[in-house]
């Protein structure tokens, strides 16, 4: 017997679906970038969005930047596993990005907001949901200001929204406090390594796996 088949993904040959969400400014993009470099066989899902690229962002690498009409067409064709309106723009994970039959054994991590996280929770009970937290609200405000990408009125909106986002945490499987980068990356890496050793996992419903 091949003992690698004792673990769930060894048996099914399918990758694990990870979701990383955080309150605004939580630092998840930085953490994910570190993770995908450090962990073999982990791929970052590239979302579709209707927002304009920021300077330095590349189409197909950071996001698939698409028009409102193209996004609507994808929604109508049921092309998304989940999608949400976040701060005035639409973002979605296309079904072709996530592990399913024929997608290979690579694990996939989604960098999505909590609305999307909750949709994944309902559709894919096999997914592993991780919530990244800052040590407190003050730290969060500081980080948003440092990032400098937000106009002051947007900044306030994001701080408000963070309170609602935090209320969804009970739907998640793990919480990681982002005190300092290395520790947080290490904690998320440990979760991923542990999940890869899992013997049994809730099954993904067939109708969601068939894409």
DSSP label of 39: S
CB neighbour burial string for 179-198, b if at least 16 within 10 angstroms, e if fewer: eeeeebbebbbebbeebbee
Residue nearest to ligand 5GP (CB): 116
What is the spatial distance between Cα 54 and Cα 42, in angstroms, rounded to a whole number?
25
CB neighbour burial string for 13-46, b if at least 16 within 10 angstroms, e if fewer: ebbbbbbbbbbbbbbbeebbebbeeebeebbbbb
86 scored as a contact of ligand 5GP (CB under 6 A): yes
Residue 8 or 90 having the CB closest to ligand 5GP: 90
157 scored as a contact of ligand 5GP (CB under 6 A): no
Least distance to ligand 5GP, CB of residue 197, Å: 27
Least distance to ligand 5GP, CB of residue 97, Å: 9
What is the spatial distance between Cα 168 and Cα 162, in angstroms, rounded to a whole number?
10
Q: Which of residues 97-116 bind ligand 5GP (CB under 6 A)?
A: 111-113, 115-116
165 scored as a contact of ligand 5GP (CB under 6 A): no
Least distance to ligand 5GP, CB of residue 1, Å: 40
What is the spatial distance between Cα 1 and Cα 61, in angstroms, rounded to a whole number?
40
91 scored as a contact of ligand 5GP (CB under 6 A): yes
Which tokens sit at 59? 């189409």
What is the spatial distance between Cα 22 and Cα 18, in angstroms, rounded to a whole number?
13
Least distance to ligand 5GP, CB of residue 7, Å: 28
Residue 9 or 47 having the CB closest to ligand 5GP: 47
Least distance to ligand 5GP, CB of residue 208, Å: 16
Binding region for ligand 5GP (CB under 6 A): 47, 51, 82-84, 86, 91-93, 111-113, 115-116
């Amino acid at each position: 017997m091949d003992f690698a088949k004792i673990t769930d993904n060894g048996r099914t040959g399918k990758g694990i679906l990870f979701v990383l969400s955080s309150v605004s400014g939580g630092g998840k993009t930085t953490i994910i970038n570190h993770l995908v470099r450090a962990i073999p066989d982990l791929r970052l899902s590239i979302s579709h969005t209707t927002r304009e690229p920021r300077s330095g962002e590349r189409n197909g690498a950071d996001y698939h930047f698409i028009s409102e009409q193209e996004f609507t067409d994808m929604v109508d064709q049921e092309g998304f596993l989940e999608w949400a309106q976040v701060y005035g723009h639409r973002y979605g994970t296309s079904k072709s990005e996530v592990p399913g039959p024929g997608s290979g054994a690579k694990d996939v991590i989604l960098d999505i907001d909590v609305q999307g996280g909750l949709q994944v929770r309902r559709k894919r009970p096999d997914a592993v949901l991780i919530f990244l937290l800052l040590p407190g609200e003050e730290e969060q405000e500081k980080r948003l200001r440092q990032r400098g990408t937000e106009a002051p009125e947007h900044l306030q909106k994001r701080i408000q929204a963070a309170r609602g986002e935090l209320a969804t945490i009970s739907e998640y499987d793990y919480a990681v406090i982002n005190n300092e980068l290395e520790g947080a990356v290490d904690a998320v890496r440990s979760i991923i390594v542990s999940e890869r050793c899992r013997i049994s996992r809730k099954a993904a419903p067939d109708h969601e796996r068939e894409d």
